[in-house]
């Protein structure tokens, strides 16, 4: 391989660029693509662990592992039981908000919020703590900490004491809703918060996502500021005492993309710090990539990493010297690139357990409704509640991580009532999704057609539906090309029928639909009569073309 000048000669294939950059120890953002917001990162010896928010999706809080901060592998989830995570009935974009992972004296700690009601002046929620000696668990039963606000994080002080910080929420209409950051001590022996509650930081702007750090005798408070959209940012404050008063950083932003709409990484904010064994510092933060036409972010908020350093006067700064997120960063010294297994593009459902890359809505994945052991080489899903239900849906989905992707599945399903449906879904939430589904029509028999929900309005495209009574098998396909989403069907997997409509994929985003999640693709089955008719899926593939 030629030296660095090779990067400057045109034309250079994208994969070749990636290979050259890898050899030079350069990592590419976002490091974890698709709906993976609010990253929390910790290093234990040579291993980095990172968790993100999951909102209404089950299991909760994925754990990603890396040795070089560039290559990340999903190794499991922390919240895997109904005891740890009861999501039944939570609203769209409710559920698990901003989990925070930490490690101290041989024990992993995770604090997290479950939001049960949101969107108005009130937020009904609880903050919980679980612990485990291993990142893979088993994790403890949850301890309820408080309900005063969201985005909790646990700080382990050098004197052995532990402190919880979280946003304090104010419901009163004549006052700001974000009522500062509150601090209270946590007692491991009593397994509860104890002592006075101190409001350690208030600002005129929205502040959330608090994290405490200790360096050179000072306490540093990292904040997410400006909301979760285009004005998102990271800011800092510091104090000689953990209870304050806190001095606000003279620079209003450590990180933001709000001033440069042309940047690849938009909505940059909500960061956490980690120090590499080499002494280099890094910040994991959320970001979003936009579509060109409507400037929306259907992939959701993703995870990126920036190298940071401490200035002579003791403030955190990007190593680049600016405030804007970079598309690349240098991996920690002495680490070399450490490849990790990529998420498989195709799942043939041959394993006895369902892959951790699949998630369900609000309800644990269990054999009573989703199993790979009933029929060899197939995923069997038993139909339950409607696609609008916030309780017990039968839907399995994976994150969409690219603006250019082809998804495909093969389904066996023989409905005998219009309340029975199954198929391929591109999903944002209960109020916004596109669904190519098989069902039964009283006059036509087995039919295949598009249904959709747009900002809560449900519709069926009857003019374009296909009668498939004589199809020996049914293949379904969806293709995303930038903002355009199209659906296809085939009786043999070779000749494809294109449904005429071109849908706007960018609608499956917070920018159009509201909320905080991202687009997912998967398989759904409904049986509104309660007989739990099942559908068998032979495989599911998701191939990226960028």
Q: Which of 256, 271, 289 is the last residue of a domain?
A: 256
How sure is the predictor about 20, in pLDDT bands with cuts at 50, 70 and 90? Answer: very low
- Residues 379, 248 share a domain: no
- Residues 350, 230 share a domain: no
- Residues 368, 243 share a domain: no
Instruction: Give a yes or no: residue 280 inside a domain.
Output: no
Per-residue b or e along 184-222, where b marks 16 or more CB atoms closer than 10 Å to that residue's CB:
bbbeeeeeebeeeebebbebeebbbbbbbbeeeeebbbb
Q: Which residue has the higher pLDDT, 10 or 86?
A: 86
Instruction: Please state the domain count of the chain.
Output: 2
Segment holding 510, helix H or strand E: helix 510-513
CA gap 425, 519 in Å, rounded: 10
Residue 10: the pLDDT is 31
Range of the domain at 14: 4-27+36-256
- Residues 361, 236 share a domain: no
Tell which residue, 149, 158, 139, has the closest CA to residue 178: 149
Q: Are 396 and 411 within 8 A, CB to CB? A: no
Distance of CA 332 to the CA centre of its chain: 25
Residue 22: the pLDDT is 52
pLDDT in tens, 281-294: 999 999 999 999 99
Tell which residue, 114, 139, 115, 144, has the closest CA to residue 129: 144
Instruction: Give a yes or no: residue 320 inside a domain.
Output: no
Residue 23: the pLDDT is 47
Instruction: Give a yes or no: residue 491 inside a domain.
Output: yes
pLDDT at 119 over 90: no
How sure is the predictor about 21, in pLDDT bands with cuts at 50, 70 and 90? Answer: very low
Phi, psi of 72 (to 5 degrees): -125, 140
Residue 337: the pLDDT is 73
Query: What positions carry a catalytic annotation?
Result: 38, 208
Q: Which of 256, 291, 322 is the last residue of a domain?
A: 256
CA gap 8, 117 in Å, rounded: 53
Cβ-based neighbours of 221, under 8 Å, separated by 6 or more: 165, 181, 200, 201, 210, 211, 212, 236, 237, 238, 239, 246
Residue 341: the pLDDT is 82
- Identify the bridge partners of residue 287 per DSSP, sorted by sequence position: 302
Instruction: Give a yes or no: residue 283 inside a domain.
Output: no
Using DSSP, how many helices (H) and how many strands (E) does the chain show?
Answer: 2, 41
- Residues 369, 479 share a domain: yes
Q: Which of 223, 256, 289 is the last residue of a domain?
A: 256
pLDDT at 491 over 50: yes
CA gap 296, 273 in Å, rounded: 28
Residues 353-363: what's their mean pLDDT? 97
Tell which residue, 500, 493, 509, 349, has the closest CA to residue 426: 509
- Residues 516, 404 share a domain: yes
Q: Are 477 and 489 within 8 A, CB to CB? A: yes
CA gap 540, 22 in Å, rounded: 30
pLDDT in tens, 221-240: 999 999 999 999 999 999 99
- Residues 392, 250 share a domain: no
Cα-Cα-Cα-Cα torsion 22, 254, 60, 227, nearest 10 degrees, comes to: -130
Global confidence as pTM:
0.94
Segment holding 20, helix H or strand E: helix 14-23
Cβ-based neighbours of 64, under 8 Å, separated by 6 or more: 32, 49, 50, 51, 52, 72, 73, 74, 75
CA gap 25, 337 in Å, rounded: 6
Instruction: Give a yes or no: residue 412 inside a domain.
Output: yes
> What percent of the chain clears pLDDT 70, i.e. is strictly above it?
96
- Residues 252, 362 share a domain: no
Instruction: Give a yes or no: residue 516 inside a domain.
Output: yes
Instruction: Give a yes or no: residue 434 inside a domain.
Output: yes
Residues 163-189: what's their mean pLDDT? 97
Instruction: Give a yes or no: residue 84 inside a domain.
Output: yes
Looking up residue 47, the CATH number of its domain turns out to be 2.115.10.20
- Residues 361, 222 share a domain: no
pLDDT in tens, 290-319: 999 999 999 999 999 999 999 999 999 999
- Residues 362, 249 share a domain: no
Looking up residue 507, the CATH number of its domain turns out to be 2.60.120.200
pLDDT at 127 over 90: yes
């Amino acid at each position: 391989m030629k030296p660095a000048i090779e990067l400057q000669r045109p034309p250079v294939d994208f994969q070749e660029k990636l290979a050259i950059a890898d050899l030079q120890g350069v990592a590419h953002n976002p490091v974890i693509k698709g709906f993976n917001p609010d990253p929390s990162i910790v290093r234990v010896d040579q291993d980095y662990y990172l968790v993100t928010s999951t909102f209404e999706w089950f299991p909760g809080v994925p754990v990603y592992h890396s040795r070089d901060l560039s290559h990340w592998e999903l190794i499991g989830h922390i919240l895997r039981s109904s005891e740890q995570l009861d999501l039944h009935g939570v609203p769209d974009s409710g559920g698990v908000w901003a989990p925070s992972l930490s490690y101290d004296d041989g024990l992993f700690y995770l604090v997290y919020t479950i939001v049960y009601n949101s969107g108005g002046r009130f937020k009904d929620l609880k903050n919980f703590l679980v612990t485990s000696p291993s990142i893979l668990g088993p994790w403890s039963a949850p301890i309820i900490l408080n309900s005063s606000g969201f985005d909790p994080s646990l700080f382990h002080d050098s004197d052995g004491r532990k402190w919880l910080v979280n946003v304090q929420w104010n419901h009163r209409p004549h006052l700001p809703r974000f009522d500062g950051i509150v601090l209270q001590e946590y007692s491991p022996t009593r397994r509860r918060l104890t002592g006075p509650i101190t409001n350690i930081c208030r600002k005129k702007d929205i502040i959330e996502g608090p994290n405490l750090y200790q360096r050179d005798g000072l306490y540093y408070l990292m904040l997410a500021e400006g909301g979760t959209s285009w004005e998102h940012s990271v800011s800092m404050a510091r104090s000689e005492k953990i209870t304050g008063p806190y001095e606000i950083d003279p620079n209003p932003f450590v990180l933001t993309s709000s001033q440069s709409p042309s940047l690849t990484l938009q909505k940059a904010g909500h960061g956490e710090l980690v120090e590499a064994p080499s002494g280099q510092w890094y910040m994991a933060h959320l970001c979003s990539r936009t579509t060109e036409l409507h400037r929306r972010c259907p992939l959701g908020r993703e995870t990126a990493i920036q190298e940071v350093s401490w200035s002579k006067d003791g403030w955190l700064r990007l190593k680049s010297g600016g405030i804007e997120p970079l598309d690349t960063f240098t991996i920690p010294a002495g680490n070399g690139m450490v490849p990790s297994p990529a998420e498989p593009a195709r799942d043939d459902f041959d394993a006895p357990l369902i892959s951790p890359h699949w998630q369900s809505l609000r309800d644990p994945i269990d054999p009573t409704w989703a199993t790979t052991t009933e029929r060899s080489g197939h995923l069997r899903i038993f139909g339950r509640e409607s696609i609008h239900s916030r309780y017990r849906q039968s839907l399995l989905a994976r994150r969409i991580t690219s603006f250019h992707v082809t998804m495909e599945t093969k389904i066996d399903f023989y409905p005998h009532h219009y309340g029975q449906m199954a198929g391929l879904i591109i999903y944002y939430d209960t109020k916004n999704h596109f669904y190519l589904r098989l069902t039964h029509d009283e006059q036509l028999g087995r039919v295949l057609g598009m249904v959709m929900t747009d900002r809560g309005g449900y519709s069926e495209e009857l003019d374009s539906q296909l009668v498939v009574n004589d199809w020996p098998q049914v293949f379904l396909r969806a293709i995303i090309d930038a903002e355009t989403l199209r659906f296809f069907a085939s009786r043999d997997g070779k000749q494809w029928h294109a449904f005429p409509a071109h849908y706007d994929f960018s609608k499956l985003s917070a920018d159009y639909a509201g909320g905080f999640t991202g687009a997912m693709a998967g398989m759904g089955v409904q049986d509104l009569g309660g007989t739990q008719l099942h559908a068998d899926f032979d495989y599911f593939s998701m191939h990226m073309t960028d």
